[in-house]
């Protein structure tokens, strides 16, 4: 069964592709994320998916999460 996608109401969301997460020398290298990314060919697969989405006319949205030093912008619910 083919998947039907309404392009007017569909977007591909790409997030967590920051160097700190996916690069072998990134800030989170000790957590093993970059190794998992490389072992599973995540960047190659993501590139293929992004190209297919663009080719199909879908909206592609990139999310980049940033935090200020000290985290003061996080609000009262932050336990710090």
Torsion of CA 71, 33, 43, 62, to 10 degrees: -20
Write the burial class of residue 34 (CB in 10 Å: 0-12 exposed, 13-18 middle, 19+ buried). Answer: buried
pLDDT at 51: 97
What pLDDT was estimated at residue 5?
82
12-54 pLDDT per residue, tens: 999 988 888 899 998 888 999 999 999 999 999 999 999 999 9
How many residues make up the chain in this entry? Answer: 80
pLDDT tens-digit map of 49-79: 999 999 999 999 999 877 777 665 556 565 5
Query: Exposed, middle or buried: residue 4 (CB in 10 Å: 0-12, 13-18, 19+)?
Result: exposed
Q: Which residues contact 24 (CB under 8 A, 6 or more apart)?
A: 34, 35, 38
């Amino acid at each position: 069964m083919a998947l039907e996608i309404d392009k007017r109401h569909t977007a591909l969301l790409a997030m967590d592709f920051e160097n700190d997460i996916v690069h072998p020398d990134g800030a989170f290298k000790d957590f093993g994320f970059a190794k998992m990314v490389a072992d599973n060919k995540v960047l190659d697969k993501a590139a293929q998916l992004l190209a297919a989405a663009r080719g199909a006319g879908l909206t592609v949205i990139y999310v980049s999460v940033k935090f200020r030093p000290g985290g003061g912008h996080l609000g009262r619910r932050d336990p710090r």
